[in-house]
Structure 1
Amino acid sequence: MVWLLASATGLIVANLYYAQTLIGPISQATGLAAGAAGLIVTLTQIGYCLGLLFVVPLGDLLENRRLICLALLACAAALLAAASTSSASLFLFAAFCIGLTAVAAQILVPFAAHLSRPETRGQTVGTVMSGLLMGIMLARPIASLVADALGWHAIFILSAVATLALALLLRKRLPQRQPHAGLHYFALLGSLWHLLRDTPVLRRRAAYQACMFGAFSLFWTCVSLELTGPRFQLSQTGVAIFALVGVAGAIASPIAGRRADQGKSHSTTAAALLLGVAAFALPLLVHGSRLLELAVLVLASIVLDMGVSANLVTGQRALFALAAETRSRLNGLYIAIFFLGGAVGSSLGAWMFAQHGWQGVLWTGLAFPLSAFLIWLAAARD
């Protein structure tokens, strides 16, 4: 069941990232103006953030299996719409709906916590989150390779079929879970502010991960520009291979979860944040031949992914140790806040690359995990 949930979350969340490497051909096919091409990614992220705030809390109110399957059916329909349209406005609406419905992954994560025993909850969540992170990391190279072979429509069609099959599989395999929140929907939404205000663990953990995910988004937004530039001159296939190597960082998720189960969350958080610092410090400090600098970037990508995944799982383990009836809302708030950090990182990184080049990106990226570590030094243990 744990591996099913891990695979499912990875497959679902990958839908958020397929379009990121295909903005060029999608814009040409739909007639989207070059200046508006960024809306493809932006609207997907907006849909996801809104889903985290308005759909994920339903996991504390409605029967979870039915909610997950309905979201996946809607996601499959949105993917088919994106694959079949030649209208820019319809594609952008489909992108928004893909983001909105892909939050099914964040209903599955607290579902996994509910199914696990308290003494192994961190390890279970870590394994599930490693699947989610692999989905994030693999989506971009897979989309590039499929588009090269079959055209950009193919990845959306294949994902729609896979998402539909996943909905049917989860309908068959998942147990039913009816939560007992005791609130109606609008009271449930109103409680989000109270949870944020009254849960210091949530605020601290969200701040750590917002900084780490900001660094992650900044790095992966800009590294392809650097790799295809005059210094390294890699092809898109070379960039895809580079991204695939970075997937190795996902191994940190179950390790971090196991350490959190052993009561070592505080030190694991420090290690994760310092890995983020090291990921940007390495290419700033190590200079040499083209091959050496490329190897350093590969190592930095793995180290950064390890830090981000370890910190993510440790944070969720801390939140899922709180009241079971608020887990979906806590998870939704946590993910929404750090996704905002990711949006800041990606937009800031693109601007820094245009204005100050790769060195400017690295110094900006270093500031994110370093800020998180300073917050950790000042924070109470959690």
Structure 2
Amino acid sequence: MQQKKLSNSLLYLMAITAGLVVANIYYCQPLLSLIADWYQVSEIEVNNIPLFAQIGYALGLLFIIPLGDKYPTKKIIIIDFILIIVSLLVAATASTLLVFVVSSFFIGFSSAIIQLLVPMAAHLADENSRGRAIGVVMSGLLVGILGSRFIGGFLGEFKGWQFVFFTAAVAMLILLIILSIKLPKIIPDYKGTYLKLMQSIYSIFKSDSKVRLASLRGALGFAGLSAFWATLVFLLEDSFSYGSATTGSFGALGIVGALTANVVGKKNTKNNKNKLITFAVVILIISWCVFLVSGTSIIGLVIGVLLIDMGFQSLHITNQSCIFSTNLEAKNRINTIYMVSFFIGGSLGTFLGAIAWGYFKWYGVSIVGLSFSLMILMVHLISLKRKALL
């Protein structure tokens, strides 16, 4: 039995790693207009870049992350980082949109490696600090998602979109060197074959209603968030004539909401998780109502961004606290189920958001997002009713 030990320095290194790696998937979002102009393609065509990045991420979660229950996590991370760096360099030098889309798929696929860090933090932390550990790593990841839009938008407007991906590749190389020195080596207990490992994922999904429910909530929540971020750049350009730097600044606003992840992580050890989920979903619904009437209001969009990120992060952290409360020996497979569902939802939201924008502009996007949030509320209330009847 390995002794669990999670120092603050290691915890914050894991949080920084999560943020920098996940940023690779989202740098493109505020750059979509610049990239569309570069390749002379339509807005719907260029949306294939974030769409395939999310599809790649979901498949990386499915096929890479379960390996963390069979092989040392550190070894998997180091090998995978090489693929991240190569994929970023291909994107930076892509001669056609097709090459860019394919490289985006592999950026997403390889960046899924960060989802080994949340279960690792949960494993190394003791029971009393597990919620905090998950919250800190998730804060880093969520700040990375939102900060990437700010950094990508700013650098893209003043240095060009290629510069963004070259810079990201250099950052990954530096991080690879640090992680190879600092990450602990954790030997997992699973001794079965890879095929049996993958088959056990279905068994867990079938037998654990808590995991199924959290996965559905997470998928619906991320679908709405993805619809928003995939189309915001077009709204700001269409209605306000703003460039990628301004779009990216909305990501910086969202960091305020992301930082609630750490607070929610702490509260998950003390408070009723059903109440936290209800609170989160209500905030999401309010945010989409604000967006619905803010197609021509910057102030409304700012308020909506703060609310949607606060609600989404609260929902996401509470979901993860629920699924990691038991069965830690299968932590990576449980996280695979949750995060694959999560990014399937994100891919669906990106796709439907682009379609809604193409036909109905921002009003259509807002209806799509609001519908997803109302579905979360319906699912949650049904689950509460069933528990009350048991």
TM-score norm. by structure 2 comes to: 0.90
Of 322, 329, 347 in structure 2, the residue corresponding to residue 325 of structure 1 is 329
Post-superposition offset of 1:118: 1.0
CA–CA distance in 2 between the matches of 1:154 and 1:239? 18
Name the structure 1 match of 2:181. 172
Secondary structure of 2:25 counterpart: coil
Contact 1:9–1:128 under 8 Å retained in 2:
yes
The Cα shift of 1:95 comes to 2.1
Aligned to 2:87: 78
After the TM superposition, which residues 296-375 of structure 1 pair with which residues of structure 2 at under 5 Å, given as runs? 296-375=300-379
Give CA deviations for 1:324-373 in whole Å, capped at 9, x if unaligned. 12111111111110111112222212222232232232222111111111
- Report if the CA contact (8 A) 2:147-2:255 is conserved: yes
- Shift in Å at residue 212 of structure 1? 1.0
Cα distance between partner residues in 1 of 2:124 and 2:102: 35
Contact persistence 1:29–1:86 (CA under 8 A): no
* Alignment correspondent of 1:227: 236
Contact 1:68/1:108 (<8 A) preserved: no
1:42-57 counterparts in 2 under 5 A?
42-57=51-66
Q: Which residue of the partner structure matches residue 213 of structure 2?
A: 204
Q: Which moved more, 1:336-345 or 1:356-365?
A: 356-365
**Residue type of the partner of 2:334?**
L
Distance 1:248 1:51 in 2: 29
Which residue type is aligned with residue 50 of structure 2?
V
Offset at residue 36 of structure 1 (A): 4.6
- Give the Cα–Cα distance (whole angstroms) in 2 for the partners of residues 364 and 89 of structure 1: 28
Structure 1 counterpart of 2:383, one-letter code: A
- Say which of 2, 20, 34 aligns to 2:29: 20
Cα separation, partners in 2 of 1:149 and 1:336, compared to 1, 3 Å: same
Shift of 1:31: 8.0
Q: Structure 2: which 5+ residue stretches go unaligned? A: 1-9
Tell me the residue number matched to 1:130. 139
CA contact (8 A) 1:9 1:135 kept: yes
- Structure 1 position 259, deviation (Å): 1.3
1:188-226 C-alpha deviation (Å, 9 max, x unpaired): 111111111111011110111111111111122223322
Q: Label 1:85 to 1:284 Cα distance change in 2 as closer, same or farther (>3 A).
A: closer
Q: What SS class does the counterpart of residue 364 from structure 2 fall into?
A: helix
Asked if the contact 1:71/1:101 (under 8 Å) is kept, the reply is yes
AA matched with 2:19: G
Whole-angstrom CA distance in 1 between matches of 2:289 and 2:47: 30
Cα drift, residue 275 of structure 1: 0.8
Q: How far apart are the structure 2 equivalents of 1:236 and 1:64?
A: 37
Q: Counterpart of 1:278?
A: 286
1:229–1:133 CA distance, 2 compared to 1 (3 A): same
Deviations 1:2-29 (A, max 9, x none): 2111111010011111223334554666
**8 Å CA contact retained: 2:143, 2:259:** no
- Counterpart Cα distance in 2 of 1:50 and 1:203: 18
**Is the Cα contact below 8 Å between 1:122 and 1:314 reproduced in 2?**
no
Q: Which residue of 2 is the match for residue 261 of structure 1?
A: 269
**SS of corresponding position for 2:192:** coil
The aligned residue for residue 195 of structure 1 is 204
Unaligned runs of 5+ in 1: none
| Contact map agreement 1:44 1:96 (CA 8 A) in 2 | yes
Give a deviation string over 1:150-178, Cα, whole Å, max 9, x none: 22221111111111111111111111101
Q: Percent identity?
A: 31
- The answer to which of 31-40 and 301-310 deviates more is 31-40
In the alignment, the residues of structure 2 paired with residue 128 and residue 347 of structure 1 have an alpha-carbon distance, to the nearest angstrom, of: 28
**TM-score, L = length of structure 1:** 0.92
Q: Deviations over 1:129-166 (max 9, x none)?
A: 11111111121221122122222221111111111111
Q: 1:40 aligns with which of 17, 36, 49?
A: 49
Instruction: State the distance in 2 between where 1:221 and 1:37 align.
Output: 10
Q: Distance in 2 between matches of 1:269 and 1:302?
A: 17
- Return closer, same or farther for 1:31/1:283 CA change in 2, 3 Å cut-off: closer
Render the CA deviation track for 1:221-242: whole Å, top value 9, x for unaligned.
2233222223x34333322223
Instruction: Judge conservation of contact 1:119–1:261 (CA < 8 Å) in 2.
Output: yes
Root mean square deviation of aligned Cα: 2.3
The one-letter code matched in structure 2 to 1:339 is F
Question: SS state of the match for residue 313, structure 2?
Answer: helix
Which whole-Å CA distance do the structure 1 matches of 2:80 and 2:377 have between them? 37
Alignment match, 1:376: 380
Secondary structure (helix, strand or coil) at the match of 2:242 reads coil
Quickly say closer, same or farther: Cα 1:258–1:373, change in 2 above 3 A.
Answer: same
**Counterpart of 1:251 in structure 2: which amino acid?**
L
Match of 1:243 in 2: 251
